């Protein structure tokens, strides 16, 4: 496995919100820490695009949003 690949059973969740506080509240409210999720990288403004290059701005009405991706390792 290369460094770009992840085991098939790892799970990722991206939370999208208006700011970091909203994302943090959602993470806590959903009990994600208790489910062994950890942040993959820092929260920040994200631009979304589809794999074919099409912009995904219509998904969010062009609003600037913050996102954070969390992951948990596959249980062995």
Q: Is residue 62 in some structural domain?
A: yes
Greatest CA separation for the chain: 41
Rg value, the chain, Cα: 14
pLDDT at 7 over 60: no
Q: Is residue 40 in some structural domain?
A: yes
| pLDDT tens readout for residues 20-59 | 999 999 999 999 999 999 999 999 998 787 888 777 767 7
Phi-psi region of 9 (alpha: psi -120 to 50; beta: other; left: phi over 0): alpha
Q: Is residue 59 in some structural domain?
A: yes
Q: Is residue 1 in some structural domain?
A: no
Q: Is residue 6 in some structural domain?
A: no
pLDDT band at 14 (very low <50, low <70, confident <90, very high): very high
pLDDT given for residue 3 in this prediction: 55
Measured CA angle at 10 (ends 60, 3), to 5 deg: 95
Q: Which residue has the higher pLDDT, 7 or 20?
A: 20
pLDDT given for residue 55 in this prediction: 72
Range of the domain at 48: 11-72
Domain count, the chain: 1
Q: Is residue 15 in some structural domain?
A: yes
Q: How far apart are CA 47 and CA 2, in angstroms?
A: 26
Q: Is residue 24 in some structural domain?
A: yes
Q: Is residue 5 in some structural domain?
A: no
């Amino acid at each position: 496995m290369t460094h770009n690949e992840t085991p098939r059973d790892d799970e990722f969740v991206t939370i999208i919100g208006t700011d970091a506080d909203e994302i943090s509240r959602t993470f806590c409210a959903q009990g994600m820490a208790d489910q062994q999720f950890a942040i993959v990288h820092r929260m920040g403004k994200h631009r979304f695009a589809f794999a074919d290059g099409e912009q995904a701005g219509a998904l969010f009405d062009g609003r600037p949003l913050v996102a954070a991706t969390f992951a948990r390792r596959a249980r062995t």
